[in-house]
């Protein structure tokens, strides 16, 4: 099975993790299933940006984002060229991904900054 390498995140996953993930599973579901409690404020319906991740490797193998996702991503904290909404990003057949969870979400940013 392909893997997701999750880079360390201070709160959610301090040591980082390597997850075995069935193709077609969303990155958000894969993280949650492995006790990495990424925010998913809209319950994965592509209506917020809190599940934002940055795909450090394997980005080209993903299906491209729909317009709706792109529009939302524009509002995400810490947007990068390989940013995706994890609830809309499905694991490819045979490519491993390296994923970084940004330090903040827009929810945090509003509270703390
Ligand atoms: S959980 Fe809201 S867009 Fe993914």
Q: Is 33 in the pocket of ligand 1 (CB under 6 A)?
A: no
User: Which of 30, 47, 68, 99 gets mutated to test ligand 1 (max ligand atoms within 8 A of its CB)?
Assistant: 47
Within a domain: residue 81?
Answer: yes
CATH (domain of 82): 3.10.20.30
- The residues that bridge with 23 in the sheet, in sequence order, are none
Closest ligand 1 atom, residue 44 Cα: 1
pLDDT attached to residue 103:
92
Q: Place 111 in a pLDDT band, splitting at 50, 70 and 90.
A: low
Domain housing 65: 3-100
Residue 75 DSSP SS3: coil
- What global pTM score does this model have? 0.94
Closest ligand 1 atom, residue 85 Cα: 4
Over residues 28-56, the pLDDT tens digits come to 999 999 999 999 999 999 999 999 999 99
Q: Are 6 and 99 in contact (CB under 8 A)?
A: yes
Within a domain: residue 105?
Answer: no
Within a domain: residue 30?
Answer: yes
Count structural domains, the chain: 1
Within a domain: residue 110?
Answer: no
Within a domain: residue 108?
Answer: no
Within a domain: residue 107?
Answer: no
Is residue 105 scored above 80 in pLDDT? yes
């Amino acid at each position: 099975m392909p893997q997701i390498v999750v880079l360390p995140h201070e709160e959610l996953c301090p040591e980082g993790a390597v997850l075995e993930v069935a193709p077609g599973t969303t990155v958000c579901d894969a993280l949650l299933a492995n006790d990495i409690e990424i925010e998913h404020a809209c319950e994965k319906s592509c209506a917020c940006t809190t599940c934002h991740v940055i795909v450090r490797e394997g980005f080209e193998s993903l299906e491209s984002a729909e317009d709706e996702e792109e529009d939302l991503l524009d509002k995400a904290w810490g947007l990068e060229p390989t940013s995706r909404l994890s609830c809309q990003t499905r694991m490819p057949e045979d490519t491993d991904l390296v994923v970084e969870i940004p330090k903040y979400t827009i929810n945090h940013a509003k509270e703390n900054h």
